[in-house]
């Protein structure tokens, strides 16, 4: 069995799917690893490091694809590469079936095995494969760092002979994995942190990290069985807007993390709320790539409205590609390990396995 990966388009994606550390683990499963030339060079990983571990380095991406039984990537391959994938080959990555439906259907018709890792069920056995959690953790941390770097005031309270500098007030919208990491990071750096979420189960987690939870009446009914936030009712939205409008008047920095899987991000911070914020405030919108949580978010651009700056990036993890690659590669290995029959060392697509059944695109 050969497992392969080719370089991503580094203008959009700097993470890699196979790291030197993980090569050893694939070898222990009986895999031969095949990578494109200069696969990790942009991260400071030279081809020699891979070669010393027994990896086969190939100049031609097309040859890597044609030789590999299993291909692991971050996202879906470009069209000119997709056409090279043959029957019974397996493609694993973040394939985004909601936006790539037609392209994936064509591959499925060719009897290609397609596994999209963002569809993993939220069960205990899948935690080591959970790419959404591992990557969101880093995104939440980095969103705080980026926000503080762009904010023009000090973050912690400072008492000096010349007077006291008050601590910055930070609001985290959405207390999922990214939001909780953002709370912890902002708190460690001395900010006063508030958080809001439609799931009342988040209250205890927020408070355990030192944040102040803003409670909206009716929150207890807005969580799916899988642990995600549900889309809210109009009545709830009005109550949430009232609470946010009043809170935002005293907030310096907002980190938006609210996403609904497979749908456009909900607009939570409306234009009138932004107009009532203090000039010099800053909003970082982690939901930018799915439309954003504010009325004015633009991908990879800083927008200024009424003295408030709003920032959203297409891929914040490009700023932490080494850490993000390390975690992603481990997640993918654990998924592949679950796919392989231990005795025969062959692919075993067992549809009785909830992990395999949920991630397989038919």
Catalytic sites, residue numbers:
122, 127, 130, 133, 228
In terms of phi and psi (left: phi > 0; alpha: psi -120 to 50; beta: otherwise), the region of 242 is alpha
Q: What is the C-alpha separation between 159 and 164, in angstroms, rounded?
A: 4
Q: What is the C-alpha separation between 179 and 257, in angstroms, rounded?
A: 6
Q: What is the C-alpha separation between 220 and 84, in angstroms, rounded?
A: 49
Whether 197 contacts 236, CB under 8 Å:
no
Q: What is the C-alpha separation between 102 and 222, in angstroms, rounded?
A: 32
Buried (b) or exposed (e) across 137-159, using 16+ Cβ within 10 A? bbbbbbbbbbbbeebeeebeeee
Of 205, 143, 137, 173, the closest CA to residue 270 belongs to 173
Q: How many CB atoms lie within 10 A of CB 59?
A: 9
Q: What is the C-alpha separation between 66 and 210, in angstroms, rounded?
A: 52
Of 72, 139, 134, 123, the closest CA to residue 290 belongs to 139
Residues 6+ apart with CB under 8 A from 3: 18, 26, 31, 32, 33, 34, 68, 69, 70, 71, 72, 336
């Amino acid at each position: 069995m050969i497992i392969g990966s080719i370089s991503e388009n580094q203008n959009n994606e700097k993470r890699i799917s196979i790291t030197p550390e993980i090569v050893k683990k694939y070898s222990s499963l009986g895999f031969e690893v095949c990578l494109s030339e200069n696969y990790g060079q942009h991260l400071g990983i030279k081809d020699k490091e891979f070669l010393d571990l027994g990896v086969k380095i190939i100049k031609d991406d097309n040859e890597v694809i044609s030789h590999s039984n299993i291909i692991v990537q971050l996202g879906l391959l470009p069209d000119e590469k997709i056409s090279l994938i043959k029957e019974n080959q397996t493609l694993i990555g973040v394939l985004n079936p909601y936006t790539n439906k037609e392209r994936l259907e064509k591959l499925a018709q060719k009897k290609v095995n397609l596994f999209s890792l963002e569809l993993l069920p939220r069960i205990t056995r899948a935690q080591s494969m959970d790419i959404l959690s591992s990557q969101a953790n880093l995104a939440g941390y980095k969103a705080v760092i980026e926000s503080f770097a762009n904010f023009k005031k000090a973050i912690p309270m400072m008492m000096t002979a010349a007077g006291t500098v008050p601590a910055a007030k930070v609001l985290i919208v959405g207390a999922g994995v990214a939001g909780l990491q953002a709370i912890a990071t902002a708190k460690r750096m001395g900010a006063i942190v508030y958080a809001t979420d439609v799931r009342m189960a988040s209250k205890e987690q927020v408070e355990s990290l030192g944040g102040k939870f803003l409670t909206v009446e009716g929150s207890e009914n807005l969580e799916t069985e899988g642990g995600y936030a549900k889309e809210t009712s109009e009545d709830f939205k009005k109550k949430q807007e009232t609470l946010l409008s009043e809170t935002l008047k005293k907030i310096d920095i907002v980190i938006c993390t609210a996403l609904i899987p497979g749908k456009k991000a909900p607009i939570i911070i409306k234009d009138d709320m932004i107009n009532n914020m203090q000039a010099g405030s800053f909003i970082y919108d982690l939901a930018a790539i799915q439309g954003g949580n504010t009325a004015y978010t633009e991908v990879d651009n800083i927008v200024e409205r009424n003295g408030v700056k709003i920032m959203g990036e297409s891929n914040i993890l490009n700023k932490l590609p080494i850490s993000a690659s390390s975690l992603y590669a481990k997640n993918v290995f654990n998924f592949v390990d679950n796919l392989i029959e231990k005795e025969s060392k062959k692919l075993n697509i067992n549809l009785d396995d909830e992990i395999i059944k949920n991630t397989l695109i038919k």
